[in-house]
Amino acid sequence: MAKAYDHLFKLLLIGDSGVGKTCLIIRFAEDNFTSTYISTIGIDFKIRTVDIDGKKIKLQVWDTAGQERFKTITTAYYRGAVGIILVYDITDEKSFENIQNWMKSIKENASAGVERLLIGNKCDMEGKRKVQRDEAEKLAKEHGIRFFETSAKSSVNVEEAFSTLARDILQKSSRKAAPSSSRPLLEPGPPRKTGGKCSLA
């Protein structure tokens, strides 16, 4: 029986409790939203298969608990992840400040060279914004990663963010699989682009 997918990628969402990690995953995996989720206890995951550049990519998206007391559980799940999405809430400055701590956690626990992506969630709540877009763009640039503002509630940029990360991972794995003679080691990659503006129109 033929395999139903070409690649399996394990993705991990990390960030403070309450930033909307579970809502983002459910919006992406099930195209659904409810505002009554309880905090994730430990670890949970959803699966969705997407088509990227003609390849079927099975994404296993792991949802982690943001609370400090679950840190020891979640660090074990960094292993094997090929993509990590860092999530903050644009209406919560502290969740943005803590992204640096989550970056440190990736460095300590994840595989070297893991693809990362920064998401500012809840961009439907513009009136309560505390984190300016240019601040986040600057942080993403410092770390050499892509950035999207999303809304799990309004479904803004959620699909784009996950698909972009999956495409980056696929391209990186394709380069690794290619014969080394076909690509100079120090050839610069294309410039990083950030996600589109958060628009509810």
Q: What is the pLDDT along the chain (201 residues), one digit of tens a residue?
A: 557 899 999 999 999 989 999 999 999 999 999 776 666 555 678 999 999 999 999 999 998 766 655 566 567 788 889 999 999 999 999 999 999 999 999 999 999 899 999 999 999 999 999 999 999 999 999 999 999 999 999 999 999 999 999 999 999 988 877 654 444 444 444 445 556 667 554
Q: Which of 195, 82, 111 is nearest to 146 (CA)?
A: 195
- The Cβ of residue 114 has, within 10 Å, a number of other Cβ atoms equal to 19
Domains of the chain and CATH, by start = 7-175 (3.40.50.300)
Q: Positive or negative CA dihedral for 167, 119, 22, 107?
A: positive
